[in-house]
Amino acid sequence: MHVSYKRCCKWVLVLGLLLGTLFHFWGPSSDLEEDLRPRRGSAIQALLSGKIYHIMSDYSEIPYKVKENVARELAQNTCICLAGEETFHLPFSDLLFHRVWAHNLQHAFLETRPDPDNVKNHRAEEYHHFQKRSYSPVDMLIIAEANNPLQYPTQGLEVQPLKTVIIPGLGLRQEDRGNYMVNLTATLGVFDIAATVDGVSVKGVGEKHISLSSLVQAALNRQLQFVTYTNTVFHPKTADSIQFETEGHQSFFTIKVGHRVVPKLYNSGQSEGYNITSLVTIATKTFLRYDKLKDLIDSIRQFYPTVTIVIADDNEHPQPVTGPHIEQYIMPFGKGWFAGRNLAVSQVSTKYVLWVDDDFIFTANTQLEKMVDILEKTTLDLVS
């Protein structure tokens, strides 16, 4: 095992968060074939946002009454915690009377830093990077305007498991007739309305099938702006297919069900250019070849004297490998490459990890800055 993997992974320098693809695309010019830059804010996006704004502001003259219980489900991140005031102080009063206390974690965190403004800016920058990296054009809300005559969102609608969202963009554009009616049917959740509009009859509130009708098309459309969907079947990373119909016409759209992505922000050293020491950890696994390992460490130190090196070691008679910024983890004898790699990676606390075999050598051409630059500027996860 230890010998056979060796040949097949020549210079597999893995820098990155998890997985990815290997691209040869470092170069001074910008006419690259693979353009992997994240894309936000294109002209199409601006056009779509403008359209959605108009769709949402239609019928704003028609009055409505808010349904408190549904509206409450929609409010997220809008509450503020305030500490209860201590009106009197008795011994053990905290045990006798429950007092609410609140602590602003953001302030508390920043207060402990020598340079809070710098930390704040830095976190904002990291968050921006994270958003660029995690963004996909499929997340963008698109509404199919009423050509068929149903109007509904075609993509970009997402609900957290067991939570509620307004379904934006529902509408009907039909020729004059006596009665206007639409139905919505879901499989993994139920419908409700966040507000009521006079002159619209709604059947099936709180159920998987809701039916809305009115003699006035504008009133029905106003009511459709307040239709909510609540996911009731816990199944993250799936989607509910919604059937939306009126007499003679049927359409389907999906609501994605999933948890929000929690942003990961890294401390990247706050210096001009890339601070390799705080961005990269070099990880390796060794067996039998301490002489080679020593050559590797010596070569790394010529170019990167302060980068942390993590060594997983499953030798039968381990020898201590010492030096500044070196961490050696002794494993049970012969645990193997995969276990060693997992152990080494588990000890990494920087944004990127560089995986090397113990017989690699750094030269003047081994420029981690170039690899980091690609990873920072694209959505790639791995560079070699």
Provide the binding-site residues for ligand NAG, judged by CB under 6 A.
183, 209, 211, 245-247, 269, 271, 275, 277-278
* Residue 316 near residue 256, CB atoms below 8 Å: no
Q: How many CB atoms lie within 10 A of CB 380?
A: 20
Q: Which is nearer to ligand NAG, 104 or 241 (CB)?
A: 241
Min. distance of Cβ 378 from ligand NAG in angstroms?
23
Instruction: Specify the 3-state DSSP secondary structure of 107.
Output: helix
Q: Which is nearer to ligand NAG, 279 or 293 (CB)?
A: 279
In the DSSP assignment, the letter for residue 383 is: B
Min. distance of Cβ 250 from ligand NAG in angstroms?
8
Q: Which of 126, 25, 131, 132 is nearest to 351 (CA)?
A: 126
Min. distance of Cβ 372 from ligand NAG in angstroms?
13
Contacts 24+ apart (CB under 8 A), 147-155: 148/249, 148/251, 149/173, 149/174, 149/246, 149/249, 150/182, 150/244, 150/245, 150/246, 150/249, 150/251, 151/55, 152/242, 152/244, 152/251, 152/253, 153/253, 154/253, 155/253, 155/254
Min. distance of Cβ 173 from ligand NAG in angstroms?
16
Element (H, E) at 183: strand 180-185
Min. distance of Cβ 347 from ligand NAG in angstroms?
17
**Token pair 């709604």: residue:** 202
Q: Which of 311, 276, 353 is nearest to 19 (CA)?
A: 353
Q: Which is nearer to ligand NAG, 249 or 289 (CB)?
A: 249
Could you give the CA distance from residue 370 to residue 37 in angstroms, rounded to a whole number? Answer: 16
Residue nearest to ligand NAG (CB): 271
Q: Which is nearer to ligand NAG, 137 or 305 (CB)?
A: 305
* DSSP bridge pairs for 190: 230
Could you give the CA distance from residue 267 to residue 109 in angstroms, rounded to a whole number? Answer: 14
Min. distance of Cβ 92 from ligand NAG in angstroms?
46
Q: Which is nearer to ligand NAG, 232 or 243 (CB)?
A: 243
Q: Which is nearer to ligand NAG, 149 or 269 (CB)?
A: 269
What are the phi and psi torsion angles at 160 (to 5°)?
Answer: -80, 150
Min. distance of Cβ 248 from ligand NAG in angstroms?
8
Q: Which is nearer to ligand NAG, 131 or 306 (CB)?
A: 306
Q: Which is nearer to ligand NAG, 9 or 326 (CB)?
A: 326
Q: How many CB atoms lie within 10 A of CB 83?
A: 10
**Token pair 């560089």: residue:** 354
Min. distance of Cβ 366 from ligand NAG in angstroms?
19
Element (H, E) at 150: strand 150-155
Which tokens is 92 given? 């053990």
Q: Which is nearer to ligand NAG, 280 or 382 (CB)?
A: 280
* Residue 211 near residue 183, CB atoms below 8 Å: yes
Could you give the CA distance from residue 179 to residue 20 in angstroms, rounded to a whole number? Answer: 55
Q: Which is nearer to ligand NAG, 36 or 265 (CB)?
A: 265
